[in-house]
Chain A
């Protein structure tokens, strides 16, 4: 199967004169796994429903393989949807649910049986053909919904928070399977989610949305490592934000003065001039925690002293909340346990520690 190319051209949508989607512009490549990521109420589901044909945009157009589809009814669009609440037909068996679109097309029984079996095998549900939806677990229901949508051979598959009702472990597993299915059939996936982990782990590209607007479009790497603004930095993963004034600009290093803990250095990734007010962000996992000053590096680093205020051990990592000595600012520091008990004695609560990071690991996010 070949995936469709989808162009969202300046789409806006009003509900009762409230703008829920503002000038969305997206170009989704054929076969891409594309995520719409944002908090609830950001307009991502509305955009998905416009693509599916359940909502009509107030302005703009949606092009599927070059043709504007906004005036086509949902049953005439070459897209299919996997709904959040599964939306399986309770009066039909698993087999008939998957066969629904083929029955509408009046395909022969033989053809239906063959294809339904094939798609149920794709989602690993062969043994459950005869069951009714009420007899299935949440994960199984979602698999039926996926098979039912895919059997129609759409060029774009829309997934509306398909995993949000499942527990964490199952979610991970289904996500991996979804990615495998995407690789196998190669059509375009548009995946709506509010869960940044989900979006980061499977997407080719992500559009981050907030308050009816698309804020940034990029690969998971770009979105995480180089967020366009403070909202995205805070929404995708966790981060530490520092506000300060530019004190000195070198060839590739900027020195920033803060009110709270003195000066620190960052790598110059944007043009700034002395006196600018800036916001800098540094991810917690990029901050190291130690008892002694690091000596084995000649790269520019920032070192601060503080005390462990809070310590959350969660198996593979520990989250430390370190409050600085000078001015009560708290830094989040995440330490992965590569060899937790072997390299040194664990840090304890209220212990005085050093935290440090490489200047190149933090980045400028807003310049005024």
Chain B
């Protein structure tokens, strides 16, 4: 008889995920249904107050703006990531470029965000250069608004989009582009009609890897953002640490998790349906 060793092999991972992932999530879900304690913490009385608070117009506005920032960031990231990944995949110095993409990870995430203050700040690099060149007379306020948040979030997401795109494009048969050109396609047409449909799986991964972390991001809007760029992540942190409203912080987290999960499921189903169709077709023929 054949034993199922698979479960034994995955036991360490299962344990790890149970202790450090599943249980904490259950704790968060539990807290969200309790009453808020006076000085933080919870009173162990069941209550839906935290969920009622979600329908506060101010929170809904933050949610919309978070969605807006995440969508725009994802679009920018993908637009920048596809050409970069394409270039790296066709380059003779692939390792060198991949190395450059990975280097930023050697520096702490927060420090990299603070570095943007040095670049975009009122006394920062960009302002100084523009003033020296005489393009502007006085400094321009680049930071602490929605667009500075989008810029930095795009910067943060780029490696996570470039790497999966690179690994897909690297497997792409570039002679297909020549075939398309040969058959009368212009350069943009060959990209649009042949390259993009064939690297769809990479684009899907890149979108998920960009959108999900951005949607829940906390540090970037906190450091770079202003009043118009408060994100859901910022509110969770504030409710937890400043307002000491643990149930509310938890209910927002739960809502965020549910929304992201539904989004991912819808998105990947939409992409899968076509692959499934093809598989069905193959089965039918065999």
Residues of A bordering B, CB below 8 Å: 52-54, 73-75, 80-81, 83, 85, 87-91, 100-101, 104-105, 130-132, 135, 148-149, 152
Of B183, B185, B282, chain A has the most CB atoms within 10 Å of the CB of B183
Q: How far is the CA of A83 from the CA of B182 in the complex (A)?
A: 10
Across the interface, B183 reaches (CB within 8 A) one of A54, A132, A135, A148, namely A148
Across the interface, A81 reaches (CB within 8 A) one of B182, B186, B189, B194, namely B182
B178 near A75 with CB under 8 A, answer no
A105 near B184 with CB under 8 A, answer yes
A91 near B197 with CB under 8 A, answer yes
Q: How far is the CA of A54 from the CA of B179 in the complex (A)?
A: 10
Chain B interface mostly: helix
Contacts A104-B189, A132-B281, A135-B282 given; indicate if A89 touches B182 (C-beta within 8 A).
no
Q: Using Cβ atoms and an 8 Å threshold, which residues of chain B touch A73?
A: 181, 186
Q: Using Cβ atoms and an 8 Å threshold, which residues of chain A touch B194?
A: 89, 91
Report B149-199 residues with CB < 8 Å from chain A CB. 173, 175-176, 178-186, 189, 193-194, 197-198
Q: How far is the CA of A88 from the CA of B183 in the complex (A)?
A: 12
Contacts A83-B175, A85-B175 given; indicate if A104 touches B285 (C-beta within 8 A).
no
- 10 extra interface residue pairs, beta carbon distance < 8 Å, beyond A89-B180, A101-B184: A74-B178, A81-B178, A83-B178, A85-B173, A87-B175, A100-B193, A104-B184, A131-B285, A132-B278, A149-B182
Q: How far is the CA of A100 from the CA of B177 in the complex (A)?
A: 13
| 14 residue pairs bridging A and B, Cβ less than 8 Å apart | A74-B178, A74-B181, A75-B182, A75-B184, A87-B175, A89-B180, A90-B176, A91-B197, A100-B180, A100-B183, A100-B185, A104-B183, A104-B185, A152-B184
Q: How far is the CA of A132 from the CA of B282 in the complex (A)?
A: 9
Q: How far is the CA of A149 from the CA of B173 in the complex (A)?
A: 18
A90 near B198 with CB under 8 A, answer yes
Report B121-164 residues with CB < 8 Å from chain A CB. none
B16 to chain A, nearest CB (A): 38
A99 to chain B, nearest CB (A): 10
Q: How far is the CA of A131 from the CA of B286 in the complex (A)?
A: 12
A87 near B185 with CB under 8 A, answer no
Q: How far is the CA of A135 from the CA of B284 in the complex (A)?
A: 12
B186 near A87 with CB under 8 A, answer no
Q: How far is the CA of A346 from the CA of B4 in the complex (A)?
A: 64
Contacts A91-B197, A132-B278, A135-B282 given; indicate if A83 touches B185 (C-beta within 8 A).
no
Residues of B bordering A, CB below 8 Å: 173, 175-176, 178-186, 189, 193-194, 197-198, 278, 281-282, 285
A87 near B173 with CB under 8 A, answer yes
Q: How far is the CA of A80 from the CA of B185 in the complex (A)?
A: 12
Contacts A85-B173, A87-B175, A135-B282 given; indicate if A74 touches B198 (C-beta within 8 A).
no
B184 near A83 with CB under 8 A, answer no
Q: Using Cβ atoms and an 8 Å threshold, which residues of chain B touch A91?
A: 194, 197-198
B271 to chain A, nearest CB (A): 13
Question: Which residue on A lies nearest to B286, using beta carbons?
Answer: A135
B175 near A135 with CB under 8 A, answer no
Contacts A89-B176, A91-B197 given; indicate if A75 touches B181 (C-beta within 8 A).
yes
Q: How far is the CA of A159 from the CA of B180 in the complex (A)?
A: 16
Q: Using Cβ atoms and an 8 Å threshold, which residues of chain B touch A152?
A: 183-184
Q: Using Cβ atoms and an 8 Å threshold, which residues of chain A touch B183?
A: 75, 80, 100-101, 104, 148-149, 152
Q: How far is the CA of A36 from the CA of B173 in the complex (A)?
A: 25
B179 near A81 with CB under 8 A, answer yes
Question: Which residue on A lies nearest to B278, using beta carbons?
Answer: A132
Across the interface, A89 reaches (CB within 8 A) one of B179, B181, B186, B285, namely B179
Q: Using Cβ atoms and an 8 Å threshold, which residues of chain A touch B179?
A: 81, 83, 87-89
Q: Using Cβ atoms and an 8 Å threshold, which residues of chain B touch A52?
A: 178, 182
Q: Using Cβ atoms and an 8 Å threshold, which residues of chain A touch B181?
A: 53-54, 73-75
Question: Which residue on B lies nearest to A85, using beta carbons?
Answer: B175
Across the interface, A75 reaches (CB within 8 A) one of B175, B186, B193, namely B186
Q: How far is the CA of A265 from the CA of B42 in the complex (A)?
A: 113
Question: Which residue on B lies nearest to A128, using beta carbons?
Answer: B285
Q: How far is the CA of A150 from the CA of B173 in the complex (A)?
A: 22
Q: Using Cβ atoms and an 8 Å threshold, which residues of chain B touch A100?
A: 180, 183, 185, 193
Q: Using Cβ atoms and an 8 Å threshold, which residues of chain A touch B193?
A: 100, 104
Q: Using Cβ atoms and an 8 Å threshold, which residues of chain A touch B198?
A: 89-91
Question: Which 10 A/B pairs are nearest by Cβ-Cβ distance?
Answer: A87-B179, A101-B183, A74-B181, A91-B197, A87-B175, A101-B184, A75-B184, A81-B182, A104-B184, A100-B183
Question: Which residue on B lies nearest to A84, using beta carbons?
Answer: B175
A54 near B173 with CB under 8 A, answer no
Q: How far is the CA of A105 from the CA of B183 in the complex (A)?
A: 10
Q: How far is the CA of A83 from the CA of B176 in the complex (A)?
A: 9
A204 to chain B, nearest CB (A): 24
Question: Which residue on B lies nearest to A52, using beta carbons?
Answer: B182
A120 to chain B, nearest CB (A): 16
Question: Which residue on B lies nearest to A92, using beta carbons?
Answer: B197
B58 to chain A, nearest CB (A): 46
Of A53, A90, A131, chain B has the most CB atoms within 10 Å of the CB of A90
Question: Which residue on A lies nearest to B198, using beta carbons?
Answer: A91
Q: How far is the CA of A163 from the CA of B186 in the complex (A)?
A: 28
B171 to chain A, nearest CB (A): 11
Question: Which residue on A lies nearest to B179, using beta carbons?
Answer: A87
B66 to chain A, nearest CB (A): 34
Q: How far is the CA of A155 from the CA of B189 in the complex (A)?
A: 23
